[in-house]
Amino acid sequence: MAEDKLDPPPFFENVNINNGDKEEDLFVSARQGPVENSTHHVTNGDSNDADISHLKMSESKAELETIPISHEPDSLEAAELEGRDEFLEISIGDTQKVGEGMGAYVAYRVTTRTNMPIFKRTNFTVTRRFSDFLGLHDKLTEKYLKVGRIIPPAPEKSVIGMTKIKMGSSTEGNQNNGSDFVERRKASLERYLRRTAQHPVLIMDPDFREFLEYDIELPKATSTSALSSAGVMRLFNKVGETVNKITYKMDESDPWFEEKLAHIEALETQLRKLHTNVEAMVTYRKELAALTNGVSRSAALLSACEDHNSLSRALAQLADTEEKVESLHLEQANTDFYILCELLKDYLGLLGAVRDAFHERTKLFQHWQHSEQMLAKKREAKAKFELQNRTDKLDQANVEVIEWESKVERGQESFEKISQMIKKEMERFEKCRIQDFKVMFIKYLENHLEHQAQLVKYWEAFLPEAKAIA
């Protein structure tokens, strides 16, 4: 009969609800008490680093990236941390362009320092390319997203930036060939690794530890290529997922999820507006620096042709002061970008990862509902065979009913498990988010105050020269 051969619902071939027991075994290490209830002290560097405002756009941004992505531990975790005092520091240092032409790529040196016993050494350095980072993210997503984990997103591709690198002769010393792009990508890759290492389950993953510790060439992540067949298929899958998110609205039985989803949507909207305005502010500061440079040059030329000695000295001093102010505006633009703008961009990506976890729960709910519908059909078919006294098909109908009853049970169990996991992950995400923004605002305001204080000093030093004009 036609109703005996119904196909499963679309878009969900990648979720196997028939392997509930197997999936539980796969993630048993991630759900064990000692792992889940103990957070390792993952540090991102000393919080008393050198003044961030003294860094230029062309210099290394290592000091700018030491803003901790912290996690507020509970009392049990705090007690464990006091006894073990474990740490993990990840940094990305030198970069090297490998190859020439369109086949070229940038290799990043990832250095790790730690005293955690899960690693075999305390200091190790590996060389990775950008596709390796994307491959690592794909592996972690494949393992943990379907159980409700929030996976930190990897940095986005940049075709324009990489084209500058491929066509340039060097990755350093020339703004036109993309050195600024490399510095920004280094910073974003470093934040990605630190945020992943902060997660108490992801840090234990063997793929993540292999990525950090073993300096071997990883399998080429061809699926990360935008022009590959796998990339095209991934694009179609994303389109299908997006359409499904829009068209399907589940009947939510838990008001907690409705409230959280509304909160996430509102937060994402406001963060996007703030990020746009901060980007505009960075642009305006750079424009202000360029205009200040023009004032400095004009004052210097005017002082050279001024006959009045005291006025000439004052103009020369004004040119020098404006040059210092120009440098200060550029440093402030760097602070705005690397402290404020980049964190906002990171959290827009993280909110997308939260949405992905919520969507996985919706997919499991759809499978559960589909199983219940199929079970009802199989029971109807069984009842029809009984009325018709079709003993030849009755045994098969009984087997199918038992099979779909098992699928319904596993579907419900998977849905309840992912709901609990998402609540746990959201609690951790909110703690990290509040702490991140607290640290960011304090650091940003401290640097802003230092810049303004330095600006006042520059003009106070110029004031006597102005008053001395006779």
The three-state (H, E, C) secondary structure of 281-308, written as one string: HHHHHHHHHHHHHHHHHHHHHHHHCCCC
Q: What CATH number matches the domain at 31-220, 3.30.1520.10, 1.10.579.10, 3.20.20.140, 1.10.3720.10?
A: 3.30.1520.10
Question: What is the C-alpha to C-alpha distance for residues 123 and 106, in angstroms, rounded to an integer?
Answer: 23
Where, residue-wise, is CATH 3.30.1520.10 in the chain?
A: 31-220
Residue linked to tokens 């006091």: 82
Torsion of CA 98, 119, 188, 111, to 10 degrees: -50
pLDDT for 234 equals 52
Sequential pLDDT tens for the chain (470 residues) = 444 444 444 444 444 434 444 444 433 444 444 433 344 445 444 443 434 334 443 343 333 333 333 333 343 344 333 445 788 999 999 888 887 777 788 899 999 999 999 998 899 999 999 999 999 999 999 999 999 999 999 888 876 766 666 666 544 444 444 577 888 899 999 999 999 999 999 999 999 999 999 888 887 665 555 445 555 555 555 555 555 555 556 778 889 999 999 999 999 999 999 999 999 999 999 999 999 999 999 999 999 998 889 999 999 999 999 999 999 999 999 999 989 999 999 999 999 999 999 999 999 999 999 999 999 999 999 999 899 888 888 889 999 999 999 999 999 999 999 999 999 999 999 999 999 999 999 999 999 999 999 999 999 999 999 998 86
pLDDT for 326 equals 96
pLDDT for 127 equals 94
Both structure tokens of 199: 């997660």
Question: What is the C-alpha to C-alpha distance for residues 389 and 427, in angstroms, rounded to an integer?
Answer: 56
Superfamily (CATH H level) for 1-22+256-470: Arfaptin homology (AH) domain/BAR domain (1.20.1270.60)
DSSP string, 333-387: HHHIIIIIIHHHHHHHHHHHHHHHHHHHHHHHHHHHHHHHHHHHHHHHHHHHHHH
How far CA 240 is from CA of 153, 344, 387, in Å, comes to: 20, 28, 42
Residue linked to tokens 């699926």: 223
Where, residue-wise, is CATH 1.20.1270.60 in the chain?
A: 1-22+256-470
Question: What is the C-alpha to C-alpha distance for residues 171 and 179, in angstroms, rounded to an integer?
Answer: 5
Half-sphere exposure for 349 (CA within 13 Å, toward CB): 16
